[in-house]
Every structure is written in structure tokens, then in C-alpha cells.
Amino acid sequence: MSPSPLRVTVWNEFINERVLPDAGAVYPRGIHHVLREALEEQLGAGVQVHTATLDEPEHGLSQQRLDETDVLTWWGHSAHDQVQTEVVERVLDRVWQGMGLVVLHSGHLSRIFRRLMGTSCTLRWREAGERERLWVVAPSHPIAAGLSQEYFELPQVETYGEHFDIPAPEELIFISWFSGGEVFRSGCTFRRGNGKIFYFRPGHETHPIYYHPQVRRVIANGVGWAAPNPGPYRGRSLHAPDPLV
Amino acid sequence: MSPSPLRVTVWNEFINERVLPDAGAVYPRGIHHVLREALEEQLGAGVQVHTATLDEPEHGLSQQRLDETDVLTWWGHSAHDQVQTEVVERVLDRVWQGMGLVVLHSGHLSRIFRRLMGTSCTLRWREAGERERLWVVAPSHPIAAGLSQEYFELPQVETYGEHFDIPAPEELIFISWFSGGEVFRSGCTFRRGNGKIFYFRPGHETHPIYYHPQVRRVIANGVGWAAPNPGPYRGRSLHAPDPLV
Amino acid sequence: MSPSPLRVTVWNEFINERVLPDAGAVYPRGIHHVLREALEEQLGAGVQVHTATLDEPEHGLSQQRLDETDVLTWWGHSAHDQVQTEVVERVLDRVWQGMGLVVLHSGHLSRIFRRLMGTSCTLRWREAGERERLWVVAPSHPIAAGLSQEYFELPQVETYGEHFDIPAPEELIFISWFSGGEVFRSGCTFRRGNGKIFYFRPGHETHPIYYHPQVRRVIANGVGWAAPNPGPYRGRSLHAPDPLV
Amino acid sequence: MSPSPLRVTVWNEFINERVLPDAGAVYPRGIHHVLREALEEQLGAGVQVHTATLDEPEHGLSQQRLDETDVLTWWGHSAHDQVQTEVVERVLDRVWQGMGLVVLHSGHLSRIFRRLMGTSCTLRWREAGERERLWVVAPSHPIAAGLSQEYFELPQVETYGEHFDIPAPEELIFISWFSGGEVFRSGCTFRRGNGKIFYFRPGHETHPIYYHPQVRRVIANGVGWAAPNPGPYRGRSLHAPDPLV
């Protein structure tokens, strides 16, 4: 008897890949398809993946879809403000109920991440095609499982730098070094309500980051870690959020 | 040469004291006046206190008043939803810039606290006039300075209980025991942007909690701890928040 | 294909049960046997349990036994100082390499726990047969999985109280309430080197705590959580500790 | 009326400066003298500094000297194992009582720091005269007070790199970037018993690090932050440590 597969919804803004030729060349079917393949490659029968995009009705995140989602991954970049308030609140409520959330790269400015953090989530950034090294600083954490070296490297990336305006992470798993002089807290966990949240920095619309084996491994680990827990409060709506609070 | 006094604004909803005879009997001029006296008693010339209430224009929290506030204390109970969105955002922006925030008792459900936490901030509660003991669990923290015993006791209180739906506090300073069977994380610190936040549970509209010497001492300690830091980002607005994020 | 079972060694001082009639009546074959049964009941084929006791050669903790242990559970009470320095250092080195450690009840004063914490690990205690309620304060943590209520209760226990002199736990999962007026941080996690550590308060030599279903569930959850991670440093000895440092 | 000055003891191994010509050229009277000058420059009448060195009787750390010390700073490099067990235990007991401890650079391998951390405290290092940037990641922390930029830079340093085998810091204040590819958690706080501990990476026996204005400022801030708190347990010996635990 096998446990039920983890139900993951991969959300993608899906604009850059259709508008920017460089992005379309790297992700012809969209970043969400590559993330789906990555999860299926890493987790096999342990996962069942759906995708959803901004242009679908309700951005593909109907109440039913969210109710049937154990972990949601989030990639957005140029249209954060087009995500409807009602959908943000629906996602928020599901995180509070226990749904896991994995926020990738430029998703740091998404409405849902900023709402959950309570900070501006701003950072310093630069497009310079620099080299990044992700150093493991929490070697016993399940999100670092299967990495065999103290760091892994991405040859060409968009640079992110501190100060990254987030609450102090509950667990800090990766710190990035960039050849241009920046450092960044690249792998951070948080808990909000019954939900677990993992922020992971790597990603870009034109650099082929989501084909990188260690990046794929870490995202799959993060999805596994963020899976809901059958604890005392799971599935209980804490209450409907009001627009501001 | 003395350092400049800390500029504190004590905010009070100021409804219960005017509407409920029992509350008016305990706090005839309002909770804010007793809190002001407490801070002046504890901090003397080191503090300059203003008060502000819900019924004043802009709830007494004009941009200028906030710009001239180092630490804001918050007491609200029955009218959280009457605090205007514009004022909540103004306070939020000032916390991000570095203003300290001390949230008292039922302020846990205030819009500003919930917005900063990213959680529902709900808890379990009961009016039963029970006894509370606040145990110090972080004895080296400046917020516990001057307490000479491992706990202090309040003879009659409103009971609060776990689960208190907040992010894991960065520092947990007090845990309350209640005679009816509850425990509660009663003294918690958080940092958001450049601002420091202290949540402290004691308080009530009819029990005379803010006359209690240890409670007064802890609130004064919390105000001192939350004072802004002349660090690298102080005074910089991170950016104007949008209504939801 | 199933994953390999988790290899757990249950260590017990095994003195009280042979010397004190009341303890022998509750745990006739020793606490280690009841803990073994609890783990087998909860984890089934997912676990392979050995036991070890103080009076065995090398206290049953030979280098080979430890090398073949994924998670070690520790129960000691009246003979902490009879545990040989060489064995303490061997366990320490294995925790640094990645072996999980679950420390139970009076094990808070064991040499290995105090060595890993860097504090005195003292606490306040009383034998009064009082009632204890363990409140869940981290509902999304895997160690709370399967608990369906906000607290569970033990009718008669030894009272422990704050201040518990430990480093601030990385994750605080349970807070206990005692009918006599104490609170206690009863479920705490720590990481040291590559190893994960879970301290869990319940237990006693004469109260039948380890037959309680929720206690058994939490210990099994803790063992699962503390399992080693195949991360970048696993299995590497950080270096031989010297007697003091 | 002024508060009493903070009583600081600056401890230095004081071997390199007498044996290595390059070290003697930079610190002719020893690192402790430069640290004393730095503290007096930064804190003025607010501090009273003594120095102590390895070659003095009891390493200059008699019970009386420690009893009259509010904060101890520690610099050691090549002779950690020459520090007597009795003195290490005496310092440990004073930290548990409330004395602050500021550990500098290669002091990460001192017996007292390793004893307080419960880990190996090892790290990766290289002598290559590389450039270091210390990025502020906790801008509201008093240890970052007075720094006006997001980072400060040291032109030539000894490189330290992750993984730094410490417990997850309670507060992470600085992350270093090194031109050769490493990152490092350079400013970390911990609490043990009633005592506060600040680890700060910068320093070297031949690079003139302790003449750098921002480094001096941070060390002075750290000393101020680590000052004992007149809290409920101050001055109480938790108990005499045994050689191993």
C-alpha cells in the first residue's frame, strides 16, 4: 500500500515566455511545464502535478483547485499587481489552513508572499550574468538532502543582494555568493498558521536555471518539506481575511 | 549632556472606558492616561509621551505625529475595523522605517498587528476572573530587566490561551499560566523592516492591570527595547504599501 | 521497493525499575522495553529497534552499535554521572555526524544533553502527582502530526517548571501547563552539527506515562523527524572532541 | 548622575605578536591594547577596560577579576589548548551567571566558545589576502547601530567560509562575502544561561583589522549589547560544571 501522491499545483504568471523571445527560447511551453517535469523527475509516483496560469479564469486557482492542492509553487515576475485580491485572499486562507507554499525567485514581490511576510520583501538586484554559488548552511535540513557538496554553482544568473527585507527566517538553509560582490539569503523557511513556506532564490526567465539538477532537487525537497501535516488544526479556516489585515 | 528623550505615542481606542461603567471606574480618563503615567513613572526624563485616540482626526496619528514618534504603543479592543486603512498603512510604513511598536492585550487583533504578522492572530479566550502567572523564560533579555522573581502574578484576569496564531516569535520572554488550564506566549518580539515589535498580553478594560508595578515595568522595558536604531536603513521608506500586500 | 527501516537504539539507565518496587511494578522489564514496543506499534516495519542499558559493556553503546544507529533515544535519571566520558564523547561525535537524538524527561540532566546544549539544563521540579496539559504551539510541525486536539492531558505527573535553562529552542512545539502553577517548554528541537535533537518532557519512573497513546505518538514522530539526512556532510566526523570542549 | 561604567576585560592569548615579526609590527603592544583603545575611543567614560593575557597567573582571569567583569572579550589563535580547564569552567560559570562574552575571529575554536555552543565550531579558511564585504542583514539590531551603509569592506583579510559548524544563531547580523568565493555568517548572537554571546569574525594577527573604524564600532556595540541584565536570575551560579558536561 502506497501513501497518496502529494498534490502539487505549479502556478506561473506565464507572460515573459510569450512576450520575450529570449524567454520563449529557454521555456517554449512556459516555466510551469519545466517545473512540472522537474517535480515528476524527482518525486515520481509520489507526486501529482497540475499547472495554473494568470490568464486562466480565476488565474487557475479556483477554490476547488486550491482545496485539492497540498503544495502550491509560485512564479511571477512582471504582473504581480494583476493577481486579483480575491485570489490572493483565497491562497492566504489555504496557507493558513495548511497548504504548503514554495515561492521562487522574483515571486518575492508577489502579493501573497508579501502579505504572509508582513514586510516589503524588497531586495537589491542587477542583471549582469554573474556567477552564483549557493552554500549550504543547514546541512541537516531535509531541504538540503541529496546535495553531496558544500555548495553548488550556477554559471550565469541575475544577481540578488541584501538587504532582503524579510522577517528573520525560521531556518536559513542556503546563502548565495555572487561574483559581483553580493550575498543573499537564498533558501529560507517560514511557518504561518498551519502552512509551511519555502522561499528559494534561483530562477530567471531567460537563464535556464530550472534545468539545473541541484536546483530541481532542492525545489522537490522544498515541496516535500512543505507538505501539510495532519495536525490538530489542519483544514480549519482560521477565518476570512479582510482586505487589509 | 543627556541623550534626547524617547518620543512615545500611546494610542488608545478609548471606547470601553466611556461606554462601560466598569471600565470607566477603573480608567476614568482612559487607559492611555494610565499608560502615560506608567511610562513617565518608569522612565522619567528619558521619555516624552503623547497620547492619541480613535476619535481624533486621523485617529491622532497624522503623518507629522508619527514622524515624531520613536515608539508607538497600541491598545484597541472593540473597534479594530474602524481604524482607517490609510492610517494603518501609515503606521506600517513607519514601522518599516524604524519606529518601534508595542502591542498590548486585545491589540492582537488590530489591523496593524495582523498586517505585520501575516497570520490571523486569533487565540482562545475566556472571561472568568482567573489568576495568571507570567513566567520569565528569557532571563537575560532587557525586557525582563528589573524583575526579581521567576514569575509575577495577576490575581484576576481575562484568560487567553493557545493556540495563538502568530509566527514563531523571534524571542519568547514570558509564558503565562492560567488557573483554568491555559498557557499563553505572553511576551513576544518580532522585527519587521527596520522596526521592532513587542507584543505583551496583560491588560483589560475592567481589571486594573495597568496599575500593576511589574506590568508597568515590562511595558517601559519594551518601549526602551523597541526604540529605533540609527542603523544603515533608518528613516528610509521602503515604499508605499498597496492595500493588500 | 520499501525504504530501509530506521535503525533506532533505545537507551535506558535501567536502575529505578530494578531498585524501586513502584517503578518495577509499572515497567517490569524496564522502560526501554515499553519504549521499544511503542516505536514498533507506531512505526511498524518502518523501524528496527535495539535497546541498550547502563550496565552493559560500554553501556551497550559500542562504536559499532552507534555506527548502525540512525536515532538514539535517551532515558536516564539517577546515575548520569556513571556514564563514562568515552561513551559520552562517542555519542557526541555521532550526533555531529548526523545521528538523531531524542532526550526524554529526566534525561535533561544527562551528560550528553548538557554537553550539546552548552547550558546547565537545570529546571524547577516537584513530585506532587499533579495534572499536566501539553498544548500544541507549532501545529504544522511533523512532531505534532496525528494529534487531533489542541492539547492532550496526563492525569498524574512529576511537575517540571521554568526557568528551564536551555538555549532558546529552534522550534518550540509543546508548552505544558501544570495544575500546581508551573509552565514548561515540553517539546523543543535543536540542531548540532549534522544531527537533530528533540527534547520531550513526559516520562517518569513510576507514573505509567509511556503507555499513553499521545505520548507514544509524539515520541515516534520525534524519532522520524530526527532521522539523519543524506546531506553534504553526513557521516563525516567533524573531529574527535577533547574532554572539555 | 551617570550610570556606572561597563567593566570590560579584554583577554588576549598574546603569543603571535611576540613571536611573529609581522604580527608584532601591526600590534607592537599586543592586540589587547588596540582593542582597549578601540573600546575607550567608542564608549568613552561609559567603559572601564582591563586586559588579561594567557601568560599571567590564572591567565589573568582570577575569580575576582571575573566577578568584577561585566563583559569579557576573547582573542586566541595558536594556543587554545593551553587555556586551563579550571579557567574555562570559571568563565563558563560567569557566562551562565550573566557576564557577556564577545568572541573574536579565531576565538571560534577557543575552548570556552566550543563549550558554550555544543558543536565543533570548525569552518573553512584560507590565507589569501582577499577582500571581504560585511553585509548588514539585521538593520534594526543595536549591534549594527551607527553603520551608515548596507555593507562595509576590509581590503585584505584571512578568508573564512561556510559551513561554520555552530548552532543556528539566534540573531544573524552580518554575512560576509569574500572575493575568492566564500560566504560566512560573520556576526552572530547566542544566549546561554543569563549570559549573552556575540561572535564577530573580523580580526587577524597581521592584517590591521582592529584599527578599522567600522570594526571598532561593531565591537563596541557588541560589548554594549552583551552587558548583563539585572533580571531575575542574575548573579546566581547555576552550579559548578563538571569536566565534561
Q: Which of A120, A192, A244 sits opposite B118 (nearest CB)?
A: A192
Q: Tens digits of per-residue pLDDT, A108-128?
A: 999 999 999 999 999 999 999
Neighbours of chain B (3+ CB pairs under 8 A): A, C, D
> For every residue of D125-155, which 3-state class applies, written as one string?
EEEEEEEEEEEECCCCCHHHCCCCCCEEEEE
For the ranges A194-198, A231-235, B160-164, D238-242, the lowest mean pLDDT is seen at D238-242
Q: Stretch C206-217: mean pLDDT, rounded? A: 97
Sign of CA dihedral B229, D39, D75, D116: negative
Which residues of C are less than 8 Å from A194 in CB distance? 139-140
Query: What's the ipTM?
Result: 0.94
Q: Stretch D43-69: mean pLDDT, rounded? A: 97
Q: Tens digits of per-residue pLDDT, D17-52?
A: 999 999 999 999 999 999 999 999 999 999 999 999
Interface test with B, best of A83, A88, A112, A120 (most B CBs within 10 A): A120
Between strands C6-12 and C47-53, the pairing is parallel
- Is C150's CB within 8 Å of A234's CB? no
Q: Bin A26: left if φ > 0, else alpha if -120 < ψ < 50, else beta.
A: alpha
- Is B85's CB within 8 Å of A163's CB? no
DSSP D86-114: HHHHHHHHHHHHT-EEEEEGGGGGSHHHH
> What pLDDT is recorded for position A113?
98
> What pLDDT is recorded for position A2?
59
Give the distance from residue B55's alpha carbon to the nearest chain D alpha carbon, in angstroms.
32
> What pLDDT is recorded for position B110?
97
Q: Stretch A20-37: mean pLDDT, rounded? A: 96
| Closest residue in chain B to residue A232, using alpha carbons only | B163
Which residues of C are less than 8 Å from D232 in CB distance? 163
Neighbours of chain D (3+ CB pairs under 8 A): A, B, C
Nearest Cα residue to B156 out of B185, B122, B179: B179
> What pLDDT is recorded for position B239?
47
Find how far residue C50's CA is from the centre of its chain: 15
- Is A183's CB within 8 Å of D182's CB? no
Give the distance from residue D23's alpha carbon to the nearest chain B alpha carbon, in angstroms.
33
C-alpha to C-alpha distance for D35 and D218, rounded to whole angstroms: 12
Q: Stretch C38-63: mean pLDDT, rounded? A: 98
> What pLDDT is recorded for position D245?
38
pLDDT exceeds cutoff 60 at A206: yes
pLDDT exceeds cutoff 90 at C24: yes
Cβ atoms within 10 A of the Cβ of B214, count?
Answer: 17
Q: Which of B148, B170, B171 sits opposite D232 (nearest CB)?
A: B148
Contact B62, B11 (CB under 8 A): no
Cell for D232? 531575575
C88 contacts chain D (CB < 8 A)? yes
Contact C183, C135 (CB under 8 A): no
C-alpha to C-alpha distance for C220 and C36, rounded to whole angstroms: 10
Q: Stretch D203-218: mean pLDDT, rounded? A: 96
| Closest residue in chain B to residue D233, using alpha carbons only | B139
| Closest residue in chain A to residue B86, using alpha carbons only | A244
Question: Quick one: which H or E segment has residue B18?
Answer: helix B16-19
Q: Which of B147, B228, B229 sits opposite D231 (nearest CB)?
A: B147
Q: Which of A85, A111, A244 sits opposite B111 (nearest CB)?
A: A244
Nearest Cα residue to D185 out of B229, C166, A174, C95: A174
> In degrees rounded to 5, what are phi and psi of residue C162?
-75, 155
A192 contacts chain D (CB < 8 A)? no
pLDDT exceeds cutoff 60 at C243: no
Q: Which of C149, C231, C234 sits opposite A232 (nearest CB)?
A: C149
> What pLDDT is recorded for position C242?
42
Q: How high is the mean pLDDT of chain A?
A: 93
A98 contacts chain C (CB < 8 A)? yes
Give the distance from residue B22's alpha carbon to the nearest chain A alpha carbon, in angstroms.
30
| Closest residue in chain C to residue A196, using alpha carbons only | C140
> What pLDDT is recorded for position D244?
41
Which residues of B are less than 8 Å from D145 in CB distance? 229-231
C-alpha to C-alpha distance for B176 and B189, rounded to whole angstroms: 15
> What pLDDT is recorded for position A1?
45
Residues 123-182 of C with CB under 8 A from A: 136, 138-142, 144-150, 170-171
- Is C163's CB within 8 Å of B135's CB? yes
- Name the stretches of chain B with pLDDT < 50: 1, 235-236, 238-245
pLDDT exceeds cutoff 50 at D75: yes
C-alpha distances out from residue C138 to A234, C88, C135, Å:
12, 31, 9
> What pLDDT is recorded for position B15?
96
C-alpha to C-alpha distance for A223 and A43, rounded to whole angstroms: 10
Between strands A183-192 and B183-192, the pairing is unpaired
Q: Where are the alpha helices (DSSP H) in D141-243?
A: 213-225
Q: Which of B138, B145, B229 sits opposite D140 (nearest CB)?
A: B229
C-alpha to C-alpha distance for A58 and A79, rounded to whole angstroms: 15
- Is D233's CB within 8 Å of B195's CB? no
- Is B245's CB within 8 Å of A114's CB? yes
C238 contacts chain A (CB < 8 A)? no
CA atoms within 13 A on the CB side of A51: 19
Tell me the pTM.
Answer: 0.96
pLDDT exceeds cutoff 50 at C126: yes
Domains and CATH numbers, chain C: 6-118+188-225 (3.40.50.880)
Contact A207, A160 (CB under 8 A): no
Q: How high is the mean pLDDT of chain D?
A: 93
Question: Quick one: which H or E segment has residue A176?
Answer: strand A171-178
What is the percent of chain A where pLDDT is above 90? 91
State the burial class of residue B130 (Cβ atoms within 10 Å of its Cβ: 0-12, 13-18, 19+). middle
Give the distance from residue B222's alpha carbon to the nearest chain A alpha carbon, in angstroms.
19
- Is D120's CB within 8 Å of C165's CB? no
Q: Which of C139, C140, C233 sits opposite A139 (nearest CB)?
A: C233
State the burial class of residue B80 (Cβ atoms within 10 Å of its Cβ: 0-12, 13-18, 19+). buried
D236 contacts chain C (CB < 8 A)? no
Q: Tens digits of per-residue pLDDT, D144-202?
A: 999 989 999 999 999 999 999 999 999 999 999 999 999 999 999 999 999 999 999 99
| Closest residue in chain C to residue A231, using alpha carbons only | C145
What is the percent of chain D where pLDDT is above 90? 91
- Is B161's CB within 8 Å of C185's CB? no
Q: Which of A149, A191, A229 sits opposite C232 (nearest CB)?
A: A149
- Is D98's CB within 8 Å of B233's CB? no
Interface test with D, best of B70, B133, B140, B148 (most D CBs within 10 A): B140
State the burial class of residue A239 (Cβ atoms within 10 Å of its Cβ: 0-12, 13-18, 19+). exposed
Q: Stretch C148-164: mean pLDDT, rounded? A: 95
What's the farthest any 2 CA atoms get from each other in chain D? Answer: 51
Give the distance from residue A114's alpha carbon to the nearest chain B alpha carbon, in angstroms.
6
> What pLDDT is recorded for position A241?
42
Q: Tens digits of per-residue pLDDT, B181-213?
A: 999 999 999 999 999 999 999 999 999 999 999
Which residues of B are less than 8 Å from C136 in CB distance? 162-163
